[in-house]
Structures are given as structure tokens and as C-alpha cells.
Chains A and B, each alone.
With several copies, the nearest count.
Chain A
Amino acid sequence: MAEATQPDLAVALGRLRLSWPTLMGSGCYGSGEEYAPFIDLAALGGVVLKSVTRHPRLGNAAPRLVSTPSGLLNAIGLQNPGIDAYLENDVANFADRPCAVIGSVAGFSVDDYAYVTERLAARDEIDAIELNISCPNVGTEGETFACDPSLAEAATRAARGVTDKTLIVKLSPNVTDIAAIARIVEAAGADALAVINTVRGMSIDVDRWTPRLGNANGGLSGPAIRPVAVLAVWEVARAVKIPIVGQGGIETARDALEFILAGASAVGIGTGNFTDPRVPLNVVDGIRDYLAARGHSALSEIVGKANPRFAGVR
């Protein structure tokens, strides 16, 4: 009975239903099993798997990580076995995860996105697809699909065409106008948006006269970028009606609530797990307490409440 009066934290992203509004950020959580000794995976809304590509990728040269003030720079370079080996060796292991399992697809051409999405989404173990369009494009350095409206649209449309499962498209903050990209991606058929991927950055080793990352530049995550991510969610929430998974530097329930009040329906937690693997638990508990203390019966009641021109009914 006491249970019945607990605030409802379930979230729908398209057809995907999450018991808790917390997704573990792609690339930060392996496939979930790495964290199983430290947290009950059933306490997670879902795990977004490490991004997979059409062909195997060796990944970037080390070092791939640099810690910066309140942040983490990474340049992993999408190390992964490629979709064939992934389907053969890895995916079956995800069947018993007690939370949603969301495949993440990265690519270097529109066709890549369609091909990998189709093959991955065909597997029962995969509950939904996240399209990582924020990884480097072939050709121009630093350019990504998420930075080019027409590429973002094409990749989304291509993936949409090959699956009925929930399609989350992950946007990059490294653009002049993220809301414009969001609108285009919504129109192209995305069911939800993940906002944001990492912010581009660099750190230089002043003793050795070289960038600290093997890949020279990388992506900044963690609390340092939280204000950037909250604003991105705020602006995207004014532009689209589909739900948003807000992420960037979340470590506490209050951090998560900033995103939710800005207009996110759920939150992503990546780097926060590196602070403490119990962060996702603490976030859910804290949100529940917050809602209860304010007399709300569901998380959905407060989505976007700090954002006056909030567009959605999520």
C-alpha cells in the first residue's frame, strides 16, 4: 500500500517504457555487466550500449582520457568489434539484463546508419536504438553528422526507415543552433532526442609540446559541461514535442532535476558513474523524495516546469 503512493517515475520514449528515468550514457557503461558488481541493474532505467559501427574499429591511440577541472576529456575512437562480431558474440549476453537495453549506432555514411540500425534492431535483446550522429564524419576534421542539418536528417530518416523500435537521436552541442537541428531530426522521424553528447575540447601537455590525448582533440563530459547541457535541453525543449533524454554532468538528483525542469523527460548518466557507481540509484531516490515532498504523484508533472515556452506534452 505504501508502495502505491510512491510517485510514478516511469517514462515512455516512443514505444520504449522505462521503469526509471535514468539511462546510462553510451560508451560509459559498457554493456552493463561491468557495473553489475556495484549496483543492481534493475535500478536503472536502461543501459545505452557502447556505440557499434559497420566495420571493426581499433579505436584511438592512447592516452584516451585526460581529467580536466570538473570534467573528463575522452577520445576513445569508437573501439568496437564491428556489427558482425557484435551480433555474434555480444548481443546474446544482453538478453538477461533487468533493465532496458538500447543499442547505439555510429556511422560514417547514411548507409552505415541504415545498415547497422537494421541489423541491430532486428535482435530481440535490443529494446531501442540510439543514433550517435555526433561522432566524426569522414572527410572534414571535427565535422559530425549532428553538425550538418542535412546529414542529421538523412541519417535519422535512414534509421527510421528500417526499424519500428524507439529511435533516439543523440545531438551534439558543438553547433551554432541546436534547436534547429532538433527540429529537423524530429521531422525526420526520431521518437526522442538525447541531449547532449560531449563538448569538443583539448588539453596540451606543456612539458612535451603535444596534445595530451592520442587523438589530439576529444569530447568533454562531466559537471564542467552541465550548464551547457541544461541550456541545450532548455532550447531543444522549446523547439520539439518529442521527449528528451537530458545529459551532461549529472551526479545528483538535483542535477537531474535541472534537466527535467528544463524540459527533459528522462536523464542520461555517463561520467557520473565514474564518480560513484551508486549515482544512478541516488538520482532515482532523490527524485522520488523530491516529488513526494512536493506532493507530486508522477515525474511527468514537473517536466519542463522551469521553461516557460516549453513545447511538449511528454
Chain B
Amino acid sequence: MYTLERSPAVHRTVVSDRREPVPGIVILGLHVPHLASITLPGQFAMVVPPSGEQAATALGIYEAEGERVSLMLVVVGPRTRELAALQIGAPLDLLAPLGNGFELDALGDNVALIAGGVGIASLLLPAQALAARGARLTLLYGARTAAALVDADRFAALGAKVVLATDDGTRGHAGFVTELLRALPKHAFSGLAACGPSPMLRAVGRAAAYLDIPAQLALEETFACGVGACWGCVVPHAASSVGTPVGLIRAKRAEPPARESDRFCYARICKEGPVFWAHELRW
């Protein structure tokens, strides 16, 4: 019953509102009756560009309440360009909700959310859920430049302490947001939840190990199907958790007998993820 209710489907939506806080970053509000209530924090949608000329594109579900969900998108190529140009009233179809969200209960009561760029889009629902159960929240939010830092106030409004960073130093810490993390004492948080580009997430993973804090990472990769059918979106993962062929991380270290932590498989980001425990990734 539970699974049935939460199971993904094709949702026909209509653009109900549209915001472009900075040129090139667009937040599309969508009217859609039965999606918000079944969406878990950290899940995503495959969005079908209306022209039919482009593959569907993966976008995190940014907001979800009542009969409205929203998507936040950064224009980087043809698909995001087409979606960003949609105006109010335009129909838009989604496959959603997809993937596994964050296991928020496992992150404790003092959680740092770490966002890189548009990764912020996948962290508002987790922030709301964590705030609702009274967790202490810190948002570490990095972007290329000040203008690209969007909606940090939404997190502040939830009571989160907000720490910003920009690559070009135009706002907050000058440098990567992960540098802030490395400067903290061990066990500074009870858990981390992060979303952003892979290099950033790798750095978060390393920092989490160093700080000895459990961390969940929401990965972004090029998807094709988004539903687990094509095995195109993989990440090397601890061998145990997925029933596919298992190999050794570094063939040259195969003898003497490999350590368990060298054994890995390729897990699908869209199906087994997009959220993974940092310590289970072998990348």
C-alpha cells in the first residue's frame, strides 16, 4: 500500500509560477495534484522537454507542498535552456518521484547541509523535514559567484545558520565551501547531507571521514533513463549493497588477497541513489 502510493508515475503539470532570481537560474512552480504528498526529501524528477527534441533531464524536487512542486534549474545546455524558457501556463510532464531520498533520521539532531551551486535545489525539502523534527541546522552553501547564491534566506527562515562561500570571493568565504568544513573540529555535526558537483561531493566525503561524521551525498551525473534501465549513471560502491558483479577497486592490488573495502560494484545513481552514504562510495 505504502509502496503503491509512493510509486512514481508520469505527472502532467502546468507551470503555475516562474521566478528568475538571476539570469540563467530559473525556479518553475508546477501545478500538479498528486505529487507533493508522495515526494521524499532528496528525490528527483525526470522532466520531459515539451519540444520532443531533447532527452528528459534530471532535476531535484525543490519545493513540494499541496498541489505544487517546484524545480530550480541552471541553464547549462539545450535541455535546461528549453525548460528555462517555459512560461506560466505551459504544460510540462514529469516522471516522478524517482530515486531514494535522504535517510534523515540517521543524521542526528545537529545537521550540516552542504550545497554546491544548484545542489541547493535538493536540500530545501530535507531542511524542512529536519527543521520540523527540531534538528539544529547549518547550511554551508557555495557557488561560483555571489549572484549565483539563490534562496539562502529560505534556509535561514527555517532557523538554519547560513555560511556562504564563493569561488570568486564576491560573498562569504573566498574559495570552496568544503574548505570551511575541513576547518571544523571533529564531530562538529551529528550528520552531513550534501548535494553538488562530484568533485565537491568527493571533498565532502573526505572531510566527513576526517571529521568522523556520517554523511549522505546526493550525486549529480549525466542520466539517460533515470529509472534504472540503462546502467549508464553508475558510481563505484561498496560491494555488499547491490546485486551486480563485483570487482576490485585497483586491479594491481588484487594480490595479496584484497581487503573487503577494495571490493566494489557499480551502483546506479538514479536507482540505488541518488543519495549514498559517503563511506560506501569507492570513487
- Say if the two chains contact directly (CB < 8 Å): yes
Q: How far is the CB of A220 from chain B (nearest CB, A)?
A: 13
Contact A276 B227 (CB under 8 A): no
Q: Counting CB contacts under 8 A, is A201 at the interface?
A: no
A37 to B226, CA, bound (A): 13
In the complex, which of the residues A37, A69, A74 contacts B53, with contact meaning CB atoms closer than 8 Å? Answer: A69
Contact B232 A65 (CB under 8 A): yes
Contact B232 A251 (CB under 8 A): no
Q: Counting CB contacts under 8 A, is A161 at the interface?
A: no
Question: Given contacts A38-B10, A276-B48, are A57 and B55 in contact (CB under 8 A)?
Answer: no
Q: Counting CB contacts under 8 A, is B257 at the interface?
A: no
Q: Counting CB contacts under 8 A, is A165 at the interface?
A: no
- For the complex with contacts A30-B229, A65-B233, A222-B55, 19 further pairs of A-B residues with Cβ separation under 8 Å are A30-B230, A37-B7, A37-B8, A56-B245, A57-B245, A58-B265, A59-B245, A62-B221, A67-B222, A70-B53, A72-B224, A76-B231, A81-B244, A252-B52, A273-B229, A274-B56, A275-B55, A275-B56, A276-B52
A59 to B272, CA, bound (A): 16
Contact B244 A30 (CB under 8 A): no
Q: Counting CB contacts under 8 A, is B235 at the interface?
A: yes
Contact A34 B56 (CB under 8 A): no
Q: Which of A186-206 contact B (CB under 8 A)?
A: none
A252 to B227, CA, bound (A): 21
Q: Counting CB contacts under 8 A, is A80 at the interface?
A: yes
Question: Given contacts A80-B245, A274-B224, A274-B225, are A64 and B234 in contact (CB under 8 A)?
Answer: yes
Question: Given contacts A34-B227, A80-B245, A275-B48, are A63 and B8 in contact (CB under 8 A)?
Answer: no
20 A–B pairs (Cβ distance < 8 Å), ordered by A:
A28-B224, A28-B230, A37-B7, A38-B8, A57-B245, A58-B265, A62-B221, A62-B235, A62-B236, A65-B222, A74-B230, A76-B230, A79-B234, A223-B53, A273-B229, A275-B54, A275-B55, A276-B56, A277-B10, A277-B227
Q: Which of B215-254 contact A (CB under 8 A)?
A: 221-236, 243-247
A70 to B10, CA, bound (A): 23
What 5 pairs across the A-B complex have the smallest Cβ distances? A30-B229, A56-B245, A34-B229, A65-B232, A58-B247
Q: How far is the CB of A272 from chain B (nearest CB, A)?
A: 9
For B235, give the chain A residue with the smallest CB separation: A62
Contact B222 A63 (CB under 8 A): yes
Contact A274 B55 (CB under 8 A): yes
Which residues of the other chain, A, contact B228 by a CB distance below 8 angstroms? 30, 34
Which residues of the other chain, B, contact A27 by a CB distance below 8 angstroms? 230-231
| Max chain A Cβ within 10 angstroms of own Cβ: one of B9, B55, B235 | B55
Contact A74 B232 (CB under 8 A): yes
A262-277 vs B, CB cutoff 8 Å, 1 = contact: the mask equals 0000000001011111
A223 to B8, CA, bound (A): 27
A81 to B245, CA, bound (A): 5
B77-90 vs A, CB cutoff 8 Å, 1 = contact: the mask equals 10000000000000
Residues of B contacting A: mostly: loop
Q: Which of A249-288 contact B (CB under 8 A)?
A: 251-252, 271, 273-278
A252 to B51, CA, bound (A): 12
Question: Given contacts A35-B229, A38-B8, A62-B234, are A251 and B52 in contact (CB under 8 A)?
Answer: yes
Q: Which of A80-104 contact B (CB under 8 A)?
A: 80-82, 89
Q: How far is the CB of A263 from chain B (nearest CB, A)?
A: 25
Q: Counting CB contacts under 8 A, is A29 at the interface?
A: yes
A312 to B194, CA, bound (A): 45
A30 to B230, CA, bound (A): 6
Contact A64 B233 (CB under 8 A): yes
Q: How far is the CB of A115 from chain B (nearest CB, A)?
A: 18
Q: Counting CB contacts under 8 A, is B93 at the interface?
A: yes
Contact A38 B95 (CB under 8 A): yes
Q: Counting CB contacts under 8 A, is A50 at the interface?
A: yes
A103-129 vs B, CB cutoff 8 Å, 1 = contact: the mask equals 000000000000000000000000000
Q: Counting CB contacts under 8 A, is B141 at the interface?
A: no
Q: Counting CB contacts under 8 A, is B266 at the interface?
A: yes
In the complex, which of the residues A50, A65, A89 contacts B243, with contact meaning CB atoms closer than 8 Å? Answer: A89
For A32, give the chain B residue with the smallest CB separation: B229
Which residues of the other chain, A, contact B231 by a CB distance below 8 angstroms? 27, 50, 59, 64, 76, 79
Q: How far is the CB of B230 from chain A (nearest CB, A)?
A: 6
Question: Given contacts A64-B233, A69-B53, A252-B52, are A58 and B245 in contact (CB under 8 A)?
Answer: yes
Question: Given contacts A56-B245, A89-B243, are A66 and B266 in contact (CB under 8 A)?
Answer: no
Contact B266 A59 (CB under 8 A): yes
Which residues of the other chain, A, contact B234 by a CB distance below 8 angstroms? 59, 62, 64, 79
For B55, give the chain A residue with the smallest CB separation: A274
Which residues of the other chain, A, contact B222 by a CB distance below 8 angstroms? 63, 65-67
Which residues of the other chain, A, contact B233 by a CB distance below 8 angstroms? 62, 64-65
Contact B266 A62 (CB under 8 A): yes
Q: Which of B1-29 contact A (CB under 8 A)?
A: 7-10
Q: Which of A17-52 contact B (CB under 8 A)?
A: 27-30, 34-35, 37-38, 50
Which residues of the other chain, A, contact B55 by a CB distance below 8 angstroms? 67, 72, 222, 271, 274-275
B99-134 vs A, CB cutoff 8 Å, 1 = contact: the mask equals 000000000000000000000000000000000000
